[in-house]
Amino acid sequence: MADPACITEELRLLREQLRRFVAEEVMPHGDAWEREGRIPRSIYKLMGDMGLLGMRHPVAYGGTDMGPVASVLFAEELARSSYGGLPASVLVHTDMSSTHISRRGTDEQKRKYLPGIISGDTIVAIAVTEPGAGSDVAGMRTKAVREGGEYVINGSKIYITNGVHGDLIIVAARTDPTAKGSRGISLFLVEKGTPGLIIAREMDKHGDLSSDTAELFFDDMRIPAANLLGDEHKGFYAIMDNFQNERLVLAGSSIGASAKAIELTLDHVRNRQAFGATLWDLQATRQRLGMLATKVSAARALTYSCAELETRGIDCVREISMAKVLACEVHVEVVNACLQLHGGSGFIRGTPIERMTRDARIQTIGGGATEVMLEEVAKRM
């Protein structure tokens, strides 16, 4: 696929670096990470040493502040590894959680946490989703009550990526019980090991097996008032704002995985003999893959266009919602079609296309389900 104009020479060099990293450090070990259910801390450290974890953080704290286009490219290349758990874990760390600290943290909070986040020593999670409040953030029930110089938090969270092995969790809780709907929610910095923080279980998922996912409980968990992140009662707006990062990189990861699935399938159909010819010799095969490649190219163009708009500070909630829908829905379509073209071999556990098909299914759910995204589009029509 041709690069959009926003891919500079600097970003092409970044892409080359990422492809070497994936080839040398991910592909030989990806199956073991799937069995272990986690991305090793050494990988975060290596990525930190390579300068890959600070692209959305200020230079003053050790980051490179490369912006949304770099984030999309980063997501795309990680997903091309074919191991969905890698972008799932790393992108939560880089673009879905720690960006709250860069955008809304105090100078003290930034000095305390960002260097470790950027170096890979501190792994970050964000805890917003609850059993009864997923895409409906306004339905949140976890509560934080101010008592002197502390907040006392009670409640629960579910489906929290990096929740098992993370070191720092950004927790959303309701601080004004009288406020309706989305009002009265705040964000807090919670360190692993805080009394009252309970990692209830590590969840056994359908896909993204190398990404750890936890259910969390907060039982009279006390944290210093200084751990309030951003303005009190304004957390909902912070969450909605950061969703643009999240949805962009989810679209980027879907594009990367889709492109990889087509690449693997092209190799398969050009070599698979059937009825005296290869599968590629069948017109139906060629046209199906051609249509899939067309859709991926369209999703890629829209996603990078959104990243450019975001870089320029232009309100593009509608467009990013469109990109998230298109890229993720196409992703599911692509892997299902590619598995079909692999035949029985695509149904065998441990083959790349089988794994990618399982991993893809979360993309139309996480970060805002397709139906929620379409409502965001419709509200702005």
Active site residues: 246
**How do beta strands 168-174 and 124-127 pair?**
parallel
| DSSP 8-state assignment for residue 233 | T
Pair of tokens at residue 136: 């409906």
Q: What's the CA gap between 364 and 242, in Å, rounded?
A: 18
The answer to whether 120 touches 46, Cβ cutoff 8 Å, is yes
Beta bridge partners of 144: 153
Under 8 Å between Cβ of 339 and 261: no
What is the SS3 assignment for 208? coil
Cα–Cα nearest to 236, from 133, 91, 319 = 133
For residues 91 and 83, give the distance between their C-alpha atoms in angstroms, rounded to a whole number: 13
3-class state of residue 359 by DSSP: helix
- Its sign, for the CA torsion 13, 18, 24, 27, is negative
Strand 273-274 relative to strand 277-278: parallel, antiparallel, unpaired? antiparallel
Give the Cα separation of 182 and 215 in Å (integer).
23
> How far is it, in rounded angstroms, from Cα 201 to Cα 146?
28
CB 182 within 8 A of CB 138: yes
Q: What is the DSSP letter of 25?
A: I
Cβ(201)–Cβ(163) below 8 Å: no
CA distances from 127 to 28, 130, 229 (A): 31, 8, 13
CB-CB contact of 341 with 288 (8 Å): yes
